[in-house]
Amino acid sequence: MASKQFQNQLCVYCGKEHSIPTGDHVFARQFFLEEHRSHFPKVPACLDCNNAKAKDETYLTAVLPFGGRHSVARKNLTLMVPKRLAKNQRLKRELADGITISQAGIPTMLPIEIQRVTRLFEMITRALLWHHWNVRLPDQYAIECALLSSVGELLYEKLFEMNSNNFVDISLGNGTFSYCGAQGAGDPNFSIWRYEIYGGLQLTGDPDFPEEVARYVGAISGTHELLRDQGLMSN
Q: Show the DSSP H helices in 105-193 as ranges.
A: 114-133, 150-161
Of 20 and 155, the one with the shorter C-beta distance to Zn ion is: 20
Query: Does 114 sit near Zn ion (CB under 5 A)?
Result: no
Closest listed residue to residue 142, CA positions, set 49, 50, 234? 234
Are 219 and 126 in contact by the 8 Å Cβ rule? The answer is no
Q: Residue 219, SS3? A: strand
Of 17 and 212, the one with the shorter C-beta distance to Zn ion is: 17
Which of 9, 10, 17, 213 is the binder for Zn ion (CB under 5 A)? 17
Footprint of Zn ion on residues 139-178 (CB under 5 A)?
Answer: none
Query: Does 11 sit near Zn ion (CB under 5 A)?
Result: yes
Cα-based torsion angle of the residue sequence 174, 70, 37, 221 in order, rounded to the nearest 10 degrees: 80
Binding pattern to Zn ion, positions 27-56, x when CB under 5 A?
Answer: -------------------x--x-------
DSSP for 98-112 reads H-EE-TTS-EEEEE-
The site for Zn ion, by CB under 5 A, has a size of 6
Q: How far apart are the first and last CA of the chain?
A: 45
Query: Does 26 sit near Zn ion (CB under 5 A)?
Result: no
Closest listed residue to residue 219, CA positions, set 123, 111, 114, 113? 123
Are 146 and 90 in contact by the 8 Å Cβ rule? The answer is no
CA distance 84 to 70: 20
Q: What minimum distance in Å lies between the beta carbon of 47 and Zn ion? A: 8
Which of 7, 14, 82, 150 is the binder for Zn ion (CB under 5 A)? 14
Of 17 and 113, the one with the shorter C-beta distance to Zn ion is: 17
Of 45 and 112, the one with the shorter C-beta distance to Zn ion is: 45
Q: What minimum distance in Å lies between the beta carbon of 16 and Zn ion? A: 6
Q: What minimum distance in Å lies between the beta carbon of 69 and Zn ion? A: 34
List of residues contacting Zn ion (CB under 5 A): 11, 13-14, 17, 46, 49
